[in-house]
Amino acid sequence: MRTSPDKKILRVLGGEPVWPPPIWVMRQAGRYLPEYREVRARAGSFLDLCYTPELAVEVTLQPIRRYGFDAAILFSDILVVPHALGQGVQFVEGEGPRLEALDGMADLQRLSEDLSHERLAPVYETLDRLTRALPAETTLLGFCGAPWTVASYMVAGKGTPDQAPARLAAYRDPDFFQALIDRLVRASIEYLIRQIDAGAEAVQIFESFGAALPPALFEPLSLRPISQVVGGLKAARPHAKVIVFVRGGGQHLARFAEAGIGDALALDWTLDPAVILPTLPPSLATQGNLDPLALVAGGEPLRKGIDAILAAVRGRPHIFNLGHGILPETPPEHVAELVDRVRRNEDR
Ligand code: CP3
């Protein structure tokens, strides 16, 4: 797909400062929207929702209709990748994801070497339908989880505080853990290539659990695999744009920038853009980084949070976003206020 000049997010990802900054919100389709909860209730299981193009298209479009965000993100989940490698994955109401935990090399060998594109066909079809359903100015984003974040679910079988089971496996059984990471690197490249071919114009890699890694494990388990995924995707599809989100990656961001990993680096909400941006190359795009709880709270904390980010990113290529996913308890009208305040900055 050719870069359209009116897609602001693609212009920013190309290194151009755009004012006011374009905006979308991580996890923008979700339970904070009553219209999402309505479709979710009709869908049956969460995976059925991800794998039914008609419904996945509908929930992807909901936040675009309501707020006119500059990007739509494919409705799916990072855990469809383990599912398409043959691992049992379920989403249990009120508890979250549950997977058949991998306990070592023998379990890994029982999974498939390659992704089942048959299982993922509805995801690609959702993207294809979205290319026709979206307004001309809206950028279509695909995504996947970073290998470490996905591996931590595959090993623990669920979300865990500080990803202790996966960290322990990485220390005790490094051959198994590296083989798992390598499998996910290959699967992620394949998956992102298919997403680009189906119509995604850029992709985001979610390293949600970067903060759990000690310094000695950060390079082999996060930085290197992400670099391999970005490199593999770009070798195959040079025009594909990539946003890298490493939650807790603060002290490592300069290394991502130096190594040229990603067209944009997303900042989590703990980082002060006024401090971090001057350390990054001026033409490197950034994204973020409002505290999702400031959006829940609304009022003065919301307005101050927005204005501080806007002041720090002026003149730089930046995409306004939260510093992590939107929370289910967020009042929808606060999101409207956020979009309005960012966009009204035209002449300030
Ligand atoms: O709008 C969007 O951003 C697109 C859809 C999207 C979902 N998950 C839908 C979803 C995206 C990009 C994700 C990514 C994802 N999934 C991440 C990385 C981003 C992040 O927030 O750190 C992670 C760690 C997951 C794993 C995951 N999926 C968990 C832990 C849960 C359960 C917790 C919860 O919020 O319920 C999910 C389920 C999930 N994925 C929901 C949604 C809308 C809620 C489930 C439901 O509606 O029943």
Write the pLDDT tens digit of every residue in 91-139: 999 999 999 999 999 999 999 999 999 999 999 999 999 999 999 999 9
Calculate how far, in angstroms, residue 27's C-alpha sits from the geometric centre of ligand 1.
7
Q: Is the CB of 46 under 6 A from ligand 1?
A: yes
Is ligand 1 within 6 A of the CB of residue 200? no
Beta partners for residue 321, in sequence order: 289
Write the pLDDT tens digit of every residue in 163-188.
Answer: 999 999 999 999 999 999 999 999 99
Identify the pLDDT of residue 4.
60
Ligand 1 centre to CA of 80 (Å) is 11
Q: In this structure, are residues 235 and 186 in contact, taking their beta carbons and an 8 Å threshold?
A: no
Residue 158 lies in a domain: yes
Q: Is 31 a catalytic residue?
A: yes
Examine the residue annotation and report whether 186 is marked as an active-site residue of this protein: no
pLDDT score for 6: 86
Read off the pLDDT band of 238 (50, 70, 90).
very high
Residue 1 belongs to a domain: no
φ/ψ bin of 84: left (φ > 0), alpha (ψ from -120 to 50), beta (otherwise): alpha
Alpha carbon nearest to ligand 1 atom 34, residue:
96
Cβ of 206 below 6 Å from ligand 1: yes
CB within 8 A of 168, min separation 6: which ones? none
Q: Flag whether 162 is in a domain.
A: yes
Q: What is the mean pLDDT of residues 34-41?
A: 97
Inside any domain, residue 263: yes
- How confident is residue 5, by pLDDT bands cut at 50, 70 and 90? low
- Asked if the model's pLDDT at residue 276 lies above 90, the reply is yes
Residue 115 lies in a domain: yes
In angstroms, the Cα distances linking 44 to 34, 35, 50, 97, 310 are: 17, 15, 11, 15, 41
> Ligand 1: does its nearest atom lie under 6 Å from the Cβ of 327?
no
Instruction: Quote the tokens at residue 303.
Output: 């307005």
Structural domain contains residue 2: no
- State how far the alpha carbon of 77 is from the alpha carbons of 29, 129, 150, 209, 335, in Å: 11, 18, 11, 15, 22
Instruction: State the greatest distance between any 2 C-alpha atoms of the chain, in Å, as a whole number.
Output: 61
- Which atom of ligand 1 is closest in space to residue 26's alpha carbon? 3
Please say if 27 is a catalytic residue: yes
Kindly state if the Cβ of 55 falls inside 6 Å of ligand 1: no
For ligand 1, what atom is nearest to the CA of residue 204? 12
pLDDT of 346 reads 65
What is the structure's pLDDT at 345?
A: 80
Spatial separation of the C-alpha atoms in residues 15 and 13, rounded to whole Å: 5
Average pLDDT rounded to a whole number, residues 51-58 = 98
Burial bucket for residue 213 (CB in 10 Å: 0-12, 13-18, 19+)? buried
Nearest protein CA to atom 43 of ligand 1, as residue? 30
CATH number, domain with residue 47: 3.20.20.210
The domain of 140 spans 8-347
Q: Is the CB of 86 under 6 A from ligand 1?
A: no
Mean pLDDT across 64-74? 98
Residue 178 domain-assigned?
Answer: yes
Which atom of ligand 1 is closest in space to residue 74's alpha carbon? 4
Q: Please, what is the Cα angle at 196 between 194 and 201, to 5 degrees? A: 160
Q: Which of 31, 98, 119, 186 is catalytic?
A: 31
- Residue 30 beta carbon below 6 angstroms from any ligand 1 atom: yes
The answer to whether the Cα torsion of 148, 253, 212, 46 is positive or negative is negative
Average pLDDT, the chain: 96
Work out the percent of the chain whose per-residue pLDDT is above 90.
97
Asked whether 277 and 315 are in contact (CB, 8 A), the reply is no
Q: Is the pLDDT of residue 312 over 60?
A: yes
- Per-residue pLDDT band for 16 (boundaries 50, 70, 90) equals very high
pLDDT band with cut points at 50, 70 and 90 for residue 145: very high
Q: Residue 3: inside a domain, yes or no?
A: no
pLDDT of residue 247: 98
Domain count, the chain: 1
Residue 3: per-residue pLDDT = 52
Instruction: Say whether pLDDT at 347 is over 80.
Output: no
Q: Once rounded to an integer, what is the mean pLDDT over residues 11-37?
A: 98
Q: Report the Cα 110 to chain-centroid distance in Å.
A: 28
Cα(97) to centroid(ligand 1), Å: 9
Q: Give mean pLDDT, residues 300-306.
A: 98
Instruction: Please indicate whether residue 77, judged by its CB atom, sits closer than 6 Å to ligand 1.
Output: yes
DSSP string, 185-209: HHHHHHHHHHHHHHT-SEEEEEETT
Which residue type sits at 270?
T
Q: Is 42 one of the annotated active-site residues of the chain?
A: no
Mean pLDDT throughout 231-254? Answer: 97
CB contact set of 324 (below 8 Å; sequence gap of 6+): 26, 208, 247, 268, 269, 292
How far, in Å, CA of 89 to CA of 6, rounded? 39
